[in-house]
Amino acid sequence: MLRTSYGIYNGDSWEEHCQTILKMKYESDGYQEMIAHTNGDLGIEGFTRTGIVFQCYCPDDEYDPTKLYEHQRDKVTKDLKKLATYKEKLLEFFQGIKIKKWIFLTPKVTNKQLVAHCHTKAHEYRDYDEMRDLLDEEFDVLVHDEEFYAEEIIKAKRILNEKVNFNVSDPKDEEIINWKECKTSSIEILNRKLSVLFDKDDNKVNRYIDFQIRNYIKGQQILSTMQ
């Protein structure tokens, strides 16, 4: 399972979300889902009549940034090869419309090298003479994370009856210290009142104040994300 700012996904649930959000975002462009149940999906999850194709990917495990990048990079490389493997079949579907963009849709990107890898692959495939009848002369390979589809993801979760999980990280100790330094007078008042409540136990007072500041900072981050 992969945890993101908007939820928790595995390969199947991410693909389900992708189909819902793509149908919302690209309906006016004639988006079509590539059904995988019969003879496979030909290496793409769907396409538009304007020449954009999509491939979705989410790992089933939570990887560190380096490992996640390696899996994403290898997936891009592997699935782009399917354009050549299934070229004749794809030509039947596209009926003269050339592929302008191949978009790799993944929940999150943690390494900018993935963008560089996609750029390299775009140049590589534009140079293949045998692909000119399928790919546009300005064929591009792009990577999109969930932020590209934030509005559609919120709507999709409503449709799929899921709650939005704004997964923000806990503030670090330095953030709490900095917040205290900026709010000295407020902390002094709070300290004085809590000292009475906790029978002048300074450890309890400090722990409680830090706990409340941590929740406040985290709450502000959640509000910012929601906005």
Pair 18, 54: CB distance under 8 Å: yes
pLDDT digits (tens, 9 = 90+) for 197-209: 777 787 887 888 8
pLDDT digits (tens, 9 = 90+) for 144-172: 999 999 888 888 777 777 666 666 778 88
Neighbours of 98 (CB within 10 A): 16
Furthest-apart CA pair in the chain: how many Å? 81
Pair 153, 102: CB distance under 8 Å: no
Q: What is the mean pLDDT of the chain?
A: 87
Listed residue (35, 125, 107, 45) closest to 71, CA to CA: 107
pLDDT of residue 188: 80
Q: Is the pLDDT of residue 38 over 60?
A: no
C-alpha–C-alpha distance, residues 227 and 225, integer Å = 5
pLDDT of residue 160: 72
Pair 125, 141: CB distance under 8 Å: yes
Pair 131, 124: CB distance under 8 Å: no
pLDDT of residue 165: 65
